[in-house]
Amino acid sequence: MTDRLRIFICTTDALSDRVDLLAPDELQRARAMTSSRRRRQFCAGRALLRLALSQDGTRAPAAWRIRLLGDRPQLDAPDAPQFSLSHSGDHAGCAISHTLRCGFDLQAHAPRSRHDLANAFFSDDDTRWLAEQSDFSAAFHQLWVLKESWAKATGAPLLTALAHTRWQARHTASIAATPWDAGTTALTDTLTTGWTAEGAVTTIELNEWQDGGFVSRPSHWTRWALRNAPDAARCDT
């Protein structure tokens, strides 16, 4: 199966005040958050998702209903698309697919070294690969967003995904038959994003919220193949 994947990003400043797009239970959750940054991320992410879902004009943004299944948000509608939300630092983002299970992650680069996190959570193979890279920070964040987006797509525990999934960069533009497709890109020098999808993705669209609307943004994706992973069937939710 092949499909397009639509990715949408925004700064939290751009959409955190669009509380008119949030449902009453979401407003209640936001007001209970003690961290102002977390509250802004939450509000911006939910607003961004509804605006992205309504890009085709078939449904008003506020008409989309989101429910929690455990701690994971899902759309409460028949034939609803798959989606995955993420936020980090001053950005929020989401990925949407109408046919493929998908995961999405954003990571703002921290000013301090990530060697300690790599040693604590990644496998020996991963840490050896990172040591061979010319830019450790860029390589670390590529691996992290791949692993976290796969965890989101499958429902696997994050620690399991960090330690046990193995990813390899694909050195061809062709779409191979693979159970899991993936891509990463640096949106800025200090912001990396990545996605995974259960099936081959033929088209990736990146859209950024600017001045009250979405603007298509050119992007170059490093494509990845999943070498091995825990039994994903046991990780379904």
Angstrom distances, CA of residue 188 to CA of 50, 99, 107, 114: 25, 29, 11, 18
- Residue 60 domain-assigned (yes or no): no
- Residue 63 domain-assigned (yes or no): no
The predicted structure's pLDDT at residue 58: 82
For 186, the domain range is: 2-11+82-235
Give the C-alpha separation, 144 to 146, whole Å: 5
- Residue 50 domain-assigned (yes or no): no
- Residue 36 domain-assigned (yes or no): no
- Residue 56 domain-assigned (yes or no): no
The predicted structure's pLDDT at residue 234: 43
Q: How many domains does the chain contain in total? A: 1
List the CATH number of the domain containing 203: 3.90.470.20
- Residue 65 domain-assigned (yes or no): no
- Residue 134 domain-assigned (yes or no): yes
- Residue 35 domain-assigned (yes or no): no
The predicted structure's pLDDT at residue 165: 95
Structure tokens at 91: 């950005």
Residues of the chain with pLDDT under 70: 1-2, 172-178, 231-237
**In 22-170, which ranges are E strands?**
66-69, 72-75, 82-88, 91-97, 102-108, 166-169
The predicted structure's pLDDT at residue 236: 43
